[in-house]
Amino acid sequence: MRLDKFICKSTELTRTEAKKLLKMGKVTVNDIVIKDPSTQVHENNDICVEGEELTARSSRYIILHKPVDTICSNVDEIYPSVLHLVEVDRVFDMHIAGRLDADTTGLVLITDDGRWSHNIISPKKQCEKVYRVWLRDPLKTDTEQKFIHGVQLQGEEGLTRPAKLKQVNEKEVLLTITEGKYHQVKRMFAAVGNKVVGLHREQVGAIKLADLPLGQWRYLTTEEVSLFS
C-alpha cells in the first residue's frame, strides 16, 4: 500500500494533508524518515506520524446492486457515482473492483483493499464475470461457437478469450467472460451482428448478487472475502 494511503486509512487526514506531513519530514517508517508518498509499506511496518504509531483500520468489502444512470467512479460526471449509495465513513476513500457502464445494472464490488481487488481485475487472474444480456435480434445459432473460439472486436488486434454462452430464450442469454475490455459485452455482440439492449451483471467469481435489492448494499461475509484473498 502507498504510504500516503496508509496514513489516510489510519487517521482522519486527507491525502493532501498526509502529503504535506511527508514533505515536512514528520513521517517515519521503521524509524527512517520517509518523504515519498508513493513508498510502498505493509501493515507490519512501524509507521509513525510525529512520533505517534499508526494502526490501519480494517479493510472493508462491500457488494452493491447498481442501478442505471450511476457511474463506477470516485468522481461525479454526467451521472452520480455509485459511492453515494453506500452509507459508510469516508466511502470516497474506497474504490470499485470492476466497473459497469452507466446504463448497466448489477453486481459491483467496492473495497479499500488494493491487493484484494487486484485478484478480481487483473487479467492474469481470469476472474469469471456472469452477465444477463438482452438482445435486439434473436440469437444466431453459431454465436456460441464463435464466442468459445473468440471474436475480433473493432479496434483490437487479437481475439477475445473463450467465453461461455447459455441461451435463456431467443433474445436473452447468460454470458460468462474472463476479461474486462472497454464495453466488451456490447462489442462482442456487435462483432456477430447483434446489439445489446439490456445488460445486468449477476456474478463475479463465486460471489452472486442473488436477491440484494436494486440500489442496496451490504458487507461481504468473511467467506466471500476469502474467495479473492
Active site residues: 101
- Written as nine digits, the cell of 50 is 510525529
The CB density around residue 33, as the number of other CB atoms within 10 Å, is 12
Q: Which of 138, 142, 180, 179 is nearest to 162 (CA)?
A: 179
Whole-angstrom distance, CA of residue 82 vs CA of residue 108: 9
Report CA-CA distances (Å) from 229 to 17, 39, 61, 70, 73.
31, 23, 12, 28, 23
Whole-angstrom distance, CA of residue 152 vs CA of residue 6: 42
CB 62 within 8 A of CB 89: no
Residue 190 burial by Cβ neighbours in a 10 Å radius (0-12, 13-18, 19+) = middle
Q: Which of 34, 81, 63 is nearest to 217 (CA)?
A: 63
CB 3 within 8 A of CB 39: yes
- For the chain, the C-alpha Rg in angstroms (whole number) is 21
For residue 112, the SS3 value is: coil
